[in-house]
A and B are shown apart, each in its own frame.
Chain A
Amino acid sequence: MITSKRIARTVAEATVTLLGVAVLVFVMLRVLPGDQITASLGIEAGMMTEAQLDALRAYYGIDQPLVVQFLGWLTEVASGNLGFSQRTGQSVLEMTASSLPVTLELAILATLLGVLLGVPLGMLSASRPNSRRDGGAQLIGLAALSIPSFLLGALLLTLLARILRYNPNAMGFARPLEDLGLNLQQMMLPAIVLGFALAAPIMRTTRSAILEVKSQDFVRTAIGKGVSPLRVQVRHVLHNSLVPIVTMTGIQFGYLLGGAVVVEQIFSVPGIGRQFLIGMQQKEYAVVQSTVLVIALLFLIVNLLTDLLYRIIDPRVRTG
């Protein structure tokens, strides 16, 4: 059973982790050369008089001592205010509310594709190790691992635009509630590119996990008892291989929630990765700090859910 003591411990651990992330990001941002003024003005900043620069520093809120800036931001975050972006004229909360669901949708679709491609391929591979079938499946896995997503993405987009004059990603991003059909078309290519890359580690994990389980006594017993081969494969072998597969998928899903920056760039998907990237380019400290915090929080939640999933898959975890 999950006790209240355990919940309290988890929450405490998460808080400490998030605080660590917050401090780290804050420090790294301040150590990096340049600030919001030079990021937006470039070398034109040299044309500004000292009074003008002071006015701009006050405008961007970077005239305060660092500790005051950090504590100010943290207090606001604790009360639910993630800060404000001068660039977009929106609060970071509003920006995140618009970008996070986009990333979430993309991550779910990509993970779904990755699992649907990776698990069967891994099973195929493990069904007769070191055979031609295994080699073929491994080759696909290697290709998925080796082809960089920016290449595959640009290639798919250019081919479709050139040959079919079809390019849903240039039609202005549509949210599911605005136009589900267009939204799914726009998500298709990035999900394929990400899902393909994701299939590789899932496939390899599946293969080795299955090979390990297959050699165990209870499988031989099941076969000996005359259980049908398909049932042995799914009920006995796959089920008992699930823990590493779920772990791998969970980690990969967590990474995807951090935003797939490159793929979002190529396919004009306004997700959380781009929100972070643009914040970084503009040195909008509040945007970067709060976005990273949100991403870190999501990562923690995904890890927690993965843990909970173990309990469902493997009863031994529940008692232990």
Chain B
Amino acid sequence: MRSARLARVGTRFITAATTAVLLAALVVPGASAQGKGDLVVGVTSDPDTLFPWKATQFQAVALLGLVYDSLVEFDQDLNVVPGIAESWDTSGDGMAITFTIRDGVTFHDGKPLTSADVKASLDAILDEETGAVQRTSLASVASVEAPDDSTVVLNLNNPDAGILSGLAGGPNLAILSKDDNEEGLSAAPNGTGPFAFGSRKPNESVTLVANDAYWREGEPKLASVELRVIPDESSIVDGLRSGNVQLAVLNDPLVATTAEGDGISIARTPQLAYHVLQLNHNRPPLDDLNVRLAIQCAVDRQEVLDTAALGEGEVVGPITSPAYLSDPSARPCPERDLEQAQQLLADAGYGDGITIGTIVSQGEYASSVNEAQNLQAQLAEAGINLEIEPMEIGAYVDRWLAADFDTAVALNGGRPDPDVQYGRYFPSTGNLNQIASYNSPELDDLFARGKSSGDADERKQIYADISNHLEDNAVWLWMFSSPNYSATTEGVEGFVPMPNNSLQYLRTTTVQ
């Protein structure tokens, strides 16, 4: 009797518990207590580091950009806007910048952020031992002072108009707590950004949760963001189709264009990164201006874009930043001109044609080998024989860094500020000038003036001159820029894709 009753109670209890669990399972997904949604972002790889100053991979930069803040940041039009610093003031001679640090910014572990954290962070980035990848952004900084809790002064070696843009370097210029170190942060990131680190399953997913104490009122609008690893872009699209993934940034134009429709919207965002054929001026006959011009005249860039990248993108000149955009029609041979190409080659004494090599990284981005093949076909018509050397990315990077190539098919990252973009390549003092293999006193002078000028219109003119100089001397063969594709499913609102690939506007995104 008694045991039977107990059994019945037990059964009832189990039934009730099961019902409760099932109900909870039905209610929980998609909506937390405040009615905020949970968003799943499909990514092809998980972040290769969680330490912001060393992050270069897209997934790592995108993720850590949500966790960390920098002094200043870019808005969607790439203007420098306040971040942790609510305002700043440049001294009359341009040799010092004074930042006022925002009140009420706290790290995810609860500690308040003060100027001491800012100074400690910038000092550490400047320290070579740290291995920070954007150390060169602070190259003109002589010293950092923190006179009081809410003031930071950067003393410069020379006026530097690009430094604010450099400071807006996302996680690479993140302000960390002075009490944290690399080892600790690599396991458990601790920033001041809209999302705090939640959990990670290596090679599978990283989950971020809303930072309720975030300093921007009313943001973030999501309860959580999960970066879910789906290694293949086509499989990510299948995830969007089935609704298990709600947002993804796609690179492959073929995958993106075929994904469109069927409940998936694709937004194309022009990117700062540019496709270019780099020429090595130390390798004859590429030291001859006429030969370089012949290459320029022999190539229809639109055709490269059409055949290699499905026409998805724009033909561009050297500078891709919207505020300083080069005019691609202001170059020698804006239209393909085979006769002139052959004439230029003959003038240079190579009437019988030339043979040059090119290195191409295979599998790094979708269009690389196709670009090389189209260039080969076009150049052949002008008597220029392009020998393609496809190789794995590791080999490519080694050859590139050693400047061991005639020409290199490259996809170079762009920057909002042209000084940050090209200051590494073309001034004779640039870190990569050996590889860019071209400089001139005129360019040196232009770069120096562009760096120190505080006047926006004057800077525009200077960089237009730089752009023209690069094109007139056929320094490299600038070809085109491709868009990135942000794919979202129905119900995702408020996401603004960025030309620099940042996912920062996940903080204003909502999902139904």
Query: Which residues of A are interface residues toward B (Cβ below 8 A)?
Result: 32-34, 38-49, 51-52, 55-56, 59, 85-90, 95, 98-99, 154, 157-158, 160-162, 165-167, 169-173, 264-268, 270, 274-275, 278, 282-283
Residues of chain B whose beta carbon lies under 8 Å from any beta carbon of chain A: 40, 42, 45-46, 48-50, 54, 56-57, 128-133, 135-136, 186-187, 200-205, 226, 228-232, 234-236, 238-239, 241-245, 262, 392-395, 397-401, 410, 412, 424, 431-432, 435
Q: Which of A45, A87, A90, A283 contacts B401 (CB 8 A)?
A: A45
Contact indicator A267/B235 (Cβ below 8 Å)? yes
Please tell me if the beta carbons of B394 and A32 are within 8 angstroms of each other in the complex: yes
Cα A167 to Cα B40 in complex, Å, equals 14
Query: Do residues B203 and A86 form an inter-chain contact, with CB atoms below 8 A?
Result: no
| Given A33-B399, A161-B239, A161-B242, 9 extra CB contacts under 8 A | A38-B397, A38-B398, A40-B57, A46-B431, A59-B131, A89-B50, A170-B236, A172-B226, A274-B231
A265 touching B232, Cβ below 8 Å: yes
Determine the chain B residues whose CB is within 8 A of the CB of A59 once the complex forms: 131
Taking the closest CB of chain A, its distance from the CB of B335, in whole angstroms, is 31
**Are A167 and B241 in contact, CB atoms less than 8 angstroms apart?**
yes
Structural contact, B231 and A283, CB atoms closer than 8 A: no
Q: Could you write out 7 A-B pairs with CB less than 8 Å apart? A: A33-B397, A42-B393, A51-B129, A87-B48, A90-B202, A157-B234, A266-B231
Q: Decide: A170 near B205, CB < 8 A? Known: A43-B401, A51-B128.
A: no
Chain A at the B interface: SS class: helix
With A89-B50, A170-B228 as contacts: A157 and B238 at CB distance below 8 Å: yes
| Neighbour of A172 across the interface among B135, B186, B228, CB < 8 A | B228
Residues of B close to A158: CB separation below 8 A: 234, 238, 241
* Chain A residue with the shortest CB-CB distance to B413: A44
Number of A-B contacts (CB under 8 A): 160
Chain A residues within 8 Å of B244, by CB: 167, 170-171
Max chain B C-beta neighbours (<10 A), residue from A39, A51, A172, A266 = A172
B431 x A47 contact (CB < 8 A): yes
> Which of B40, B128, B226, B241 is the one whose CB lies under 8 Å from A161?
B241
Q: How far is the CA of A167 from the CA of B129 in the complex (A)?
A: 47
Contact status B432-A46, CB under 8 Å = yes
Assembly CA distance A202 to B238 (angstroms)? 32
Which residues of the partner chain B approach A264 to less than 8 Å between Cβ atoms?
Answer: 231
A88 contacts which chain B residues (CB < 8 A)?
46, 202-203
Q: Which residue from B186, B202, B235, B398 sits with its C-beta under 8 Å from A34?
A: B398
- A169 contact set on B, CB distance < 8 A: 230, 235, 238-239
Tell me the bound Cα distance from A278 to B394 in angstroms.
14
Which residues of chain B come closer than 8 Å to A32, judged between CB atoms?
A: 394-395
Least CB separation from A57: chain B residue: B131
A49 interface neighbour in B54, B128, B204, Cβ under 8 Å: B128
Chain A, Cβ-Cβ closest to B430: A47
Most buried by A among B130, B231, B236, B424: B231
Inter-subunit contact A170/B186 (CB<8 Å): no
Closest to A173 in B: B204
In the assembled complex, the Cα of A157 lies from the Cα of B244 at a distance in Å of 13
> Among the interface residues A52, A98, A267, A275, which one has the most CB atoms of the partner chain B within 10 A?
A52
A42 nearest CB neighbor, chain B only = B397
> How far, in whole Å, are A33 and B401 apart by their CA atoms in the complex?
12
Instruction: Tell me whether B49 and A87 are in contact (CB under 8 A).
Output: yes
CB distance from B242 to the nearest CB of A (A): 3
Asked if B238 contacts A167 (CB within 8 A), the reply is yes
Contact yes or no, A167 B203, CB < 8 A: no
Query: Contact at B56–A42, with CB atoms within 8 Å?
Result: yes
Across-interface contacts of A266 in B (CB, < 8 A): 231-232, 234-235
Query: When the two chains form their complex, are residues A43 and B235 in contact, meaning their CB atoms are under 8 A apart?
Result: no
Is B397 touching A34 in the complex (CB atoms < 8 A)? yes
Interface centre among A45, A51, A56, A167 (most CB of B within 10 A): A167
Tell me the minimal C-beta distance from A125 to chain B in angstroms: 35
Choice from B136, B204, B398, B431 contacting A270 with Cβ under 8 Å: B204
State whether B205 touches A172 (Cβ < 8 A). yes
Q: A34-B395, A170-B238, A275-B203 are in contact. Are A86 and B49 (CB under 8 A)?
A: yes
Please indicate the chain B residues that have their CB under 8 angstroms from the CB of A157 in the complex. 234-235, 238
Q: How far is the CA of A148 from the CA of B235 in the complex (A)?
A: 17
B133 & A41 in contact (Cβ 8 Å cutoff): yes
In the complex, the answer to whether B56 meets A167 with C-beta atoms within 8 Å is: no
> Which residue in B128, B202, B205 is a CB contact (below 8 Å) of A89?
B202
Partner among B205, B226, B397 whose Cβ is within 8 Å of the Cβ of A43: B397
Contact (Cβ within 8 A) B241 A89: no
User: Chain B residues near A43 (CB, 8 Å)?
Assistant: 397, 400-401, 410, 412, 432
Could you tell me the distance between the alpha carbons of A191 and B234 in the complex, rounded to whole angstroms?
Answer: 19
B50 proximity list for chain A (CB < 8 A): 89
- B-side contacts of A38, CB under 8 Å: 394, 397-398, 401
* A169 shortest CB reach to chain B, Å: 7
CB-CB < 8 A to B241: which residues of A? 158, 161-162, 165, 167
Question: Is B230 a contact partner of A170 (Cβ separation < 8 A)?
Answer: yes
Collect the chain B residues with CB atoms within 8 Å of residue A267's CB: 235
Q: How far is the CB of A59 from chain B (nearest CB, A)?
A: 7
Which residues of A lie under 8 Å from residue B48 when comparing CB positions? 40, 87, 282
Docked Cα-Cα span, A99 to B205, in Å, equals 14
Q: A41-B133, A51-B128, A170-B42 are in contact. Are A34 and B56 (CB under 8 A)?
A: no
Nearest to A280 among chain B residues (CB) is B394
Chain B contacts for A162, CB-based, 8 A:
238, 241, 262
Q: Please indicate the chain A residues that have their CB under 8 angstroms from the CB of B399 in the complex.
A: 33
Bound Cα distance from A56 to B129, whole angstroms: 8
Residues of B within 8 A of A48 (CB): 131, 133
**Residues of chain B with a CB closer than 8 A to A171's CB:** 244
Residues of A within 8 A of B203 (CB): 88, 95, 99, 270, 274-275, 278
Closest residue of A by beta carbon distance from B228: A172
Contact between B245 and A170, CB atoms less than 8 A apart? yes
A41 to B53, CA, bound (A): 12
Alpha-carbon distance between A51 and B132 when the two chains are bound, in angstroms = 12
Task: List the 3 shortest-distance A-B pairs measured between CB atoms, nearest first.
Answer: A34-B394, A170-B239, A167-B242
Q: Please indicate the chain A residues that have their CB under 8 angstroms from the CB of B242 in the complex.
A: 160-161, 165-167, 170
A258 shortest CB reach to chain B, Å: 17
